[in-house]
A and B are shown apart, each in its own frame.
Chain A
Amino acid sequence: MGEAFSEFKDSFSYGSRTDLTFKFLRMLSEEDAAETIRRVLEETGSLFDTGDPAAVIDIAIRTQAESYGSRDLNERYRYEDTPFTPPPAPVAESAVALLTSSGHFVEGDDPEPFGVVGMTQEEAVARIDDFLRETPQLSVIPIDTPADRLVVRQAGYDIRGAVADHQVSLPLSHLCDLESEGVVGRVIPDAYSFVGATAQGRIIKQAGPAWADLLLEAGTDAALLVPV
């Protein structure tokens, strides 16, 4: 007996055909998944003549957004109140920190999750369930780190864009430029990154408060946070 279509579409989400860009296919009904694939193939066919991939990219981005957008946030993560700190001074006079969930670290400073030395992206993806139970580790990334010394590994998303250009999620030089131009008062000299696919309870009770201490000790007034 052949593979059912439902098994096929689900296999892109941590299955036999893992593709973290298209893992959203699992969320779609069989009919919607089939239509998405049909449209991608149709526009790919048009590429032979137009050479313009914009329509394919547009379908992928829109379907990705619609798929995730159709799933409401778990009630337990919805809050009645929202803490809000007005900045003590305009950003042009403030110390700004950068923190992302991209999974970047500096070469030679591998956080070695679960004690594994030199874990590959593929190995990380295979351990997504372990990451989702783990306390996240924060990697410190000096803002003047050269691009060729940055490494990214994250079990929750397709890292190819971040490998091609870390500034898609870790905008080190953009912040430095904005500091030199006076748009930002001062950039905190260390940026921070962690693997965002992690245990929420551990973020709330352990990691988050510890990271707040770290940012406060560094003199942070405001923080740019970049989830992936």
Chain B
Amino acid sequence: MCHVSVGHVARILEERGIATVVACVAAFGHYARQMPVPRAVITPFPMGRPLGAPGDRETQRAVVEAALRLVDEAGAPGTVIDLDLPYRPGLG
């Protein structure tokens, strides 16, 4: 339900003139596409850790950067991309 909630927030913010990007895990990537949300990056990580494993600063940052790049680069609503990044627990 979390992903639907955030999807609705994304849609409302866009209607009000704020560009949005959602960063979510693969389990709910289909929700981002079916709703759809305006822009999203999908990570192959477990629920609750959408940006990467605890302590994996490098991957977390890479996801944030990819999401923000999508704000600049997406040319149409419903732009959803899958990120191919490793899940690296145990670094924290």
Query: Which residues of A line the B interface, CB within 8 A?
Result: 20-21, 24, 57, 60-61, 64-65, 67-69, 72-74, 77-79, 82-87, 90-91, 94, 96-97, 99-101, 132, 136, 156-162, 164-165, 167-169, 171, 174-175, 177-178, 183-184, 194, 196-198, 200, 203-204, 208-209, 211-212, 215-216, 220-228
Residue of A nearest to B75 (CB): A86
Q: Evaluate contact between A222 and B46: CB separation under 8 angstroms.
A: no
Q: Evaluate contact between B5 and A200: CB separation under 8 angstroms.
A: yes
The one of A72, A168, A216 that contacts B30, using a Cβ cutoff of 8 Å: A72
- State how many residues of chain B have any CB contact under 8 Å with chain A: 64
The one of B3, B53, B71 that contacts A87, using a Cβ cutoff of 8 Å: B71
Question: In the complex the two chains form, what is the Cα distance from A90 to B78 in whole Å?
Answer: 19
Q: Evaluate contact between B6 and A225: CB separation under 8 angstroms.
A: yes
Chain A residues near B37 (CB, 8 Å)?
Answer: 82
Q: Evaluate contact between A78 and B30: CB separation under 8 angstroms.
A: no
12 more contacts with CB within 8 A, not counting A223-B13, A225-B21, are: A20-B48, A74-B4, A84-B38, A94-B19, A157-B47, A164-B55, A175-B64, A203-B5, A223-B19, A224-B20, A226-B6, A226-B51
Q: Evaluate contact between A208 and B9: CB separation under 8 angstroms.
A: yes
Residue of A nearest to B17 (CB): A85
Q: Evaluate contact between B12 and A85: CB separation under 8 angstroms.
A: no
Question: In the complex the two chains form, what is the Cα distance from A91 to B1 in whole Å?
Answer: 29
Q: Evaluate contact between A227 and B50: CB separation under 8 angstroms.
A: yes
Query: Which residues of B line the A interface, CB within 8 A?
Result: 1-31, 34-38, 44-55, 57, 60-61, 64-65, 67-69, 71-72, 76-78, 87, 89, 92
Q: Evaluate contact between A224 and B21: CB separation under 8 angstroms.
A: yes
Q: Evaluate contact between A86 and B38: CB separation under 8 angstroms.
A: no
Distance (Å) between the CB of A173 and the closest chain B CB? 8
Q: Evaluate contact between A178 and B68: CB separation under 8 angstroms.
A: yes
Q: Evaluate contact between B25 and A65: CB separation under 8 angstroms.
A: yes
Q: Evaluate contact between B30 and A174: CB separation under 8 angstroms.
A: no
Query: Given contacts A177-B61, A203-B9, is CB(A61)–CB(B18) below 8 Å?
Result: no
